[in-house]
Amino acid sequence: MEIVKNHNAKLNRITILSITAVVAMGGLLFGYDTGVISGSQLYFTEYFALSNAEQGWAVSSAIYGCLFGALFSGYLTKKISRKFTLIFSAVLFIVSAWGSGAADSLSVLAFYRIIGGLGVGMASMTAPMYIAEISPPKERGQMVSYYQLAVVIGFFVVFVVTYFIGNSGAQNLSSLANTDLHTWNVERGWRIMFWSEIIPAGLFCILLFFVPHTPRWLIMKGRTSEAQEVLSKITASKEEARLELEDIALSFSETKQHHKVTLATKGMGLILFIGIMLSVFQQITGINAILYYGAEIFSNALGYGPEDALKQQLWTAGVNLVFTFIAIFTIDKWGRKPLILIGTTGMFLGLSILTITLYSQQIGILSLLAILLFIGSFAMSLGPVVWVLLSEIFPNTIRSVAMAIAVAAQWLFNAIVANSFPVVNGSQLNNETFNGALPYLIFAVLSVVTFVFVWRLVPETKGKTLEELESIWTGEKVFHQADEIEPDLD
C-alpha cells in the first residue's frame, strides 16, 4: 500500500510540474517579447529615423498594452477562467509578432506592439496566479518562481536568437562586410527578430488546451466535482485532496455569508497598498531600463559596437538565468523577505559602482561587472519574489481584481521608466554634469527605498496555504498557523 501511495504521489508531482511548465511559458513569452525589443530597437530606430521621444514610444508602447491587459485580465480570469485567459494571450502574442515584423511605419509598429502588450499583461497576471492555485503550500514559492525562470529563459533565448540573426560572426568580418551586415540588420534583420516569436507563441497556444482549470476557479463557479478531480491529480493523496477541497470551499462559503472579503474590507487596503508598491519598486529600480536599452547602453555608454553589443547582452541574460535558479532553490528555505533584502543590497552596490565608473569616466570591465551584479541581485530577489508574493498574499475572493490592479501598476511604472530613460539618458544635465551616470544614481537611491519598505512592511509568507494567508489581513484566525505570520508594522 505504501508503494502505491508513493507511486501516486510521484505521478501527481509530475502532473503539477508538467502543468506548471506549460503555464510558465507565458513567462517565457513575456521575456521573449520584452527582450526582442532590446536587440531590434538598435536597428528599427535607425530604419525609421526616430527621435529620442519616438524611440521611447516605440519601446514603451507595448507596456501600455500590458497595463490594460493586466487590468482586463482581472475580469477575464474570473469570468472565462485562468486557462482561457492564457489561451487568449497566446493568440495576441502571435498576432503581435507577425504585425511588428511587417510594420512599415512607427504607428503600425506601435499598434502591433500594443497588441502584444495586451497579451503580456494578461499572461503576467494570470500565469503566476494559476501556478499558485495548483501548487502545494510548502513548494509554492519554488513553483511560482518557475514563472520568473521562464521569463529569464525567454530573455536568454531571444538574446541568443537576435545575436545570431544580427551578428552572424561580425567579429570575423572585414570592415566592409560589417557595414553590409549592419545595413541588412537595419533593412531586414529586425523584422526577422520579431517574427521569430511566432514559434514559441504558437507552441504555448497549443499546449494550453491540455491543462485543467484551477480548483479554486472551479469551486468559485460551483463546479466542485471537477475541482475534486483536479485536486486528486495534483495532491499527494485522496485525504490531502479532500482536506484542501474543504479549505477552499470554506474560504468561499464564508465570504457568501456575513464575512464577505472585498477591497473595502478592513485590512485589504493595506495589503493592496503593499502589493502595488512591490510592483512599483520592481520597476523603478531600473531593471527594464537596462534590459530594454541594454544593447544601446553597451554600445554607447560602454563603447561597444552595435553588433558586438548584442554579444554582451548574452552575459546579462546568462547571469539573469543563473541567479534565478538561486532564488528557486532558496525561496522556500530562506523565505521571501530575506531574498529581497539581500537582493536590493546587491542592486544598490552594482548601481553605485556603475554610477562611479561612469561619472569618473573610468569605463571598462568594472562597469560591465557592476551591471552584472545588479542584474544577478535582481534575478534572485525582486524578479521572482515579487511575482510569488503577488500570487499568494491576496484572499481568494479578491485575488483576481487585486492582483490585476497590482500588476497594472507594475506595467504603468514599467512604461514610465521605459519612456523616461532615453530622455533622461540623453539630457544635457546627464551628459554634461553627471557624465551619463544620472539614471543609475536615481536607480541606486530607489533600491535603498525598496529595502526599507520591504524591511518594515512586507510579511513573510513561506509554507502557508493561500487560505491560511488570508487570515493575516481579515483577522479571522481560522488557521492556527496564521499566528506565526505578522507584517512588521512597528
- Please report the domains of the chain, with CATH numbers, ordered by start residue: 2-211+256-484 (1.20.1250.20)
Q: How far apart are CA 281 and CA 279, in angstroms?
A: 6
Residues constituting the chain? 490
Least confidently predicted of 32-41, 274-283, 321-330: 32-41
3-state secondary structure 318-360: HHHHHHHHHHHHHHHHHCHHHHHHHHHHHHHHHHHHHHHHHHC
Q: How many CB atoms lie within 10 A of CB 310?
A: 27
Confidence check: pLDDT of 228 > 50: yes
Burial class from Cβ neighbours inside 10 Å (0-12, 13-18, 19+) for residue 363 reads middle
**CB-based contact 29:201 (threshold 8 Å):** yes
CA atoms within 13 A on the CB side of 20: 26
Handedness of CA 42, 47, 52, 53 (dihedral sign): negative
Range 277-303 average pLDDT: 74
In tens, the pLDDT along 327-369 reads 988 888 888 899 999 999 999 999 999 899 888 888 777 887 8
3-state secondary structure 231-251: HHHHCCCHHHHHHHHHHHHHH
The amino acid at 45: T
Q: How far apart are CA 217 and CA 387, in angstroms?
A: 19
Burial class from Cβ neighbours inside 10 Å (0-12, 13-18, 19+) for residue 425 reads buried
pLDDT at res. 273: 92
Angle separating helix axes 25-47 and 2-23, nearest 10 degrees: 20
Backbone torsions φ then ψ of 197, nearest 5 degrees: -70, -20
Model confidence at 481, pLDDT cuts 50, 70, 90, reads very low
CA-angle at 155, arms to 150 and 156, nearest 5°: 95
Q: How far apart are CA 81 and CA 77, in angstroms?
A: 4
Least confidently predicted of 29-33, 113-117, 201-205: 29-33
**CB-based contact 309:295 (threshold 8 Å):** yes
pLDDT at res. 485: 39
Q: How many CB atoms lie within 10 A of CB 115?
A: 23
pLDDT at res. 6: 53
Range 277-295 average pLDDT: 82
Q: How far apart are CA 120 and CA 81, in angstroms?
A: 17
Cell of 201: 507563441
User: Which of helix, strand or coil describes residue 281?
Assistant: helix
319 vs 54, 155, 288, CA distance in Å?
Answer: 31, 11, 15
Q: Work out the mean pLDDT of the chain and round it to a whole number.
A: 82
3-state secondary structure 436-470: CCHHHHHHHHHHHHHHHHHHHHCCCCCCCCHHHHH
Q: How far apart are CA 214 and CA 458, in angstroms?
A: 27
Q: How far apart are CA 25 and CA 134, in angstroms?
A: 16
Least confidently predicted of 71-85, 130-144, 227-241, 284-298: 284-298
Cell of 337: 523577505
This prediction has a pTM of 0.75
**CB-based contact 54:91 (threshold 8 Å):** no
Range 56-78 average pLDDT: 87
Q: Indicate the helix (H) or strand (E) that contains 406.
A: helix 399-425
pLDDT at res. 482: 35
The amino acid at 468: E
Confidence check: pLDDT of 1 > 50: no
Range 64-91 average pLDDT: 92
Percent of the chain predicted with pLDDT > 70: 82
Q: How many CB atoms lie within 10 A of CB 46?
A: 16
Instruction: Return the C-alpha torsion angle 450, 452, 455, 461, nearest 10.
Output: -20
Confidence check: pLDDT of 478 > 50: no
Burial class from Cβ neighbours inside 10 Å (0-12, 13-18, 19+) for residue 6 reads exposed
Q: How far apart are CA 39 and CA 23, in angstroms?
A: 26
**CB-based contact 213:230 (threshold 8 Å):** yes
**CB-based contact 39:373 (threshold 8 Å):** no
Which one, of 314, 323, 364, 318, lies nearest residue 347 by Cα?
Answer: 323
Model confidence at 490, pLDDT cuts 50, 70, 90, reads very low
